[in-house]
């Protein structure tokens, strides 16, 4: 095992309810739209405690109130540390791939002006565009969206994601071969890596050791506030497949049985993680998560 982690608390709750939208404020046009829609849906929230002055992984395990995409300002709330430029304000760093399959980050920061809070909010790195108005975000965020949150403050912040449980029976994500893909469980429940009723890992690459099998790398902080990864890999033996599954880095413990952790209950709701695919570059495969409310 890598260093044992004591990760900040995460609270997840959901319940069947009727959620009524409120008014929406469009920053640039300065117009208000009456929210007259009522959606019978399953709604909830997930709160993560973050570490100040460091990078934290966050994710969105909810859809918008209509079960579709959602604006960041509608689903995320918290105690942000703002500034007049990207070197001062908190940052969101979003990992993604371009049309050539090359991975990279798109960065946003929290702008705040104490003398004129009218325009406070999340902006692109240039400071020219409000987060929800950027081309890549204009259609809203899909359930399972995730990002690195760089906290600039000295006090540990919290971030709360709220919305509707995605109505789909299952949700799939593309894993990029020969590279790292940042993903998370799109449903607000703990994730047991070896539970086939929760997730289908698709055309996974297994091996007899961690250098051959696909990896899951989970970021967290120990009791001294030092960040690091805990790594699991997919063990597979073509001659004796009965023990195939996700194991800790030493190969000694099946994921759900790793001692001195709460893995028996699964990864925390809303916990994003890196997936390292051992497949050749450009050979992508699909992972499918199943809706626990169905």
Listing DSSP states for the chain in one string gives --S---PPPEEEEEEEEEEE---EEETTTTEEE----EEEEEEEEEEEE--TTSEEEEE---B-TTSS-B-HHHHEEE----BSSTTTS-EEEEEEE-TTS-EEEEEEEEE--TT-GGG-EEEETTS-SBGGGSGGGTT-BPTT-EEEEE--SSS--EEEEEEEPP-SSEEEEEEPTTSEEEEE-SSSS-B-TT-TTTEE--S---BSSTTTS-EEEEEEE-TTS-EEEEEEEEE--TT-GGG-EEEETTSSSBGGG-TTSSGGG-BPTT-EEEEE--SPTT--EEEEEE-TT-
256 occurs within a structural domain? yes
Domain count, the chain: 2
Mean pLDDT across 76-105: 95
19 occurs within a structural domain? no
Do 73 and 154 lie in one domain? The reply is yes
Do 141 and 248 lie in one domain? The reply is no
Q: Which pTM was predicted? A: 0.84
**Spatial contact of 166 and 206, defined as CB atoms under 8 Å apart:** no
Integer Cα distance of 268 and 188 in angstroms: 9
188 occurs within a structural domain? yes
Give the pLDDT of residue 196.
96
- pLDDT of residue 19 exceeding 50, the answer is no
Integer Cα distance of 278 and 134 in angstroms: 33
DSSP code of 153?
S
Q: Is 257 helix (H, G, I), strand (E, B) or coil?
A: helix
- CA dihedral (276, 279, 282, 283) in degrees, to 10, reads -120
Band (21; pLDDT cuts 50, 70, 90): very low
Do 125 and 191 lie in one domain? The reply is no
- pLDDT of residue 28 exceeding 50, the answer is no
150 occurs within a structural domain? yes
Range of the domain at 265: 170-290
Write down which residue in 116, 138, 164 finishes a domain.
164
The more confidently predicted of residues 99 and 247 is: 247
Do 180 and 117 lie in one domain? The reply is no
Give the pLDDT of residue 261.
92
35 occurs within a structural domain? no
Write down which residue in 123, 143, 164 finishes a domain.
164
Taking only the tens place, the pLDDT of each residue in 120-132 is: 999 999 999 999 9
Give the pLDDT of residue 41.
64
Do 131 and 202 lie in one domain? The reply is no
**Spatial contact of 153 and 69, defined as CB atoms under 8 Å apart:** no
Do 51 and 159 lie in one domain? The reply is yes
Give the pLDDT of residue 43.
87
Taking only the tens place, the pLDDT of each residue in 188-233 is: 999 999 999 999 999 999 999 999 999 999 999 998 899 999 999 9
Write down which residue in 123, 149, 164 finishes a domain.
164
24 occurs within a structural domain? no
Do 126 and 214 lie in one domain? The reply is no
Do 87 and 176 lie in one domain? The reply is no
Do 273 and 206 lie in one domain? The reply is yes
Do 135 and 200 lie in one domain? The reply is no
101 occurs within a structural domain? yes
Give the pLDDT of residue 46.
94
Mean pLDDT across 3-28: 30
């Amino acid at each position: 095992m890598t260093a044992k982690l004591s990760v900040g608390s995460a609270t997840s709750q959901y319940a069947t309810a009727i959620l009524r939208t409120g008014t929406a404020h469009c920053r640039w046009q300065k117009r208000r739209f009456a929210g007259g829609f009522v959606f019978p849906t399953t709604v909830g929230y997930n709160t993560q405690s973050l570490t100040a002055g460091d990078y934290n992984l966050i994710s969105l395990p909810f859809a918008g109130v209509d079960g579709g995409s959602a604006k960041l300002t509608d689903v995320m709330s918290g105690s942000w540390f703002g500034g007049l430029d990207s070197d001062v304000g908190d940052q969101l760093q979003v990992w993604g791939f371009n049309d050539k399959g090359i991975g990279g980050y798109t960065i946003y920061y929290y702008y705040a002006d104490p003398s004129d809070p009218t325009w406070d909010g999340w902006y692109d790195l240039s400071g020219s565009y409000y987060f929800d108005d950027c081309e890549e975000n204009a259609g809203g965020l899909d359930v399972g969206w995730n990002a690195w949150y760089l906290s600039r403050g000295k006090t540990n912040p919290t971030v709360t994601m709220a919305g509707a449980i995605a109505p789909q029976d299952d949700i799939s994500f593309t894993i990029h071969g020969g590279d790292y893909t940042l993903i998370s469980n799109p449903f607000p429940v703990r994730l047991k890596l070896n539970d086939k009723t929760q997730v289908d890992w698709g055309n996974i690459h297994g091996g007899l050791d961690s250098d051959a099998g696909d990896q899951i790398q989970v970021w967290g902080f120990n009791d001294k506030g030092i960040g690091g990864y805990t790594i699991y890999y997919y063990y597979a033996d073509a001659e004796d497949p009965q023990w195939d599954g996700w194991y800790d880095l030493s190969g000694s413990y099946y994921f759900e049985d790793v001692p001195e952790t709460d893995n028996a209950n699964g990864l925390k709701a809303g916990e994003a993680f890196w997936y390292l695919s051992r497949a050749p570059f450009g050979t992508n495969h699909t992972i499918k998560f199943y809706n626990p409310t169905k």
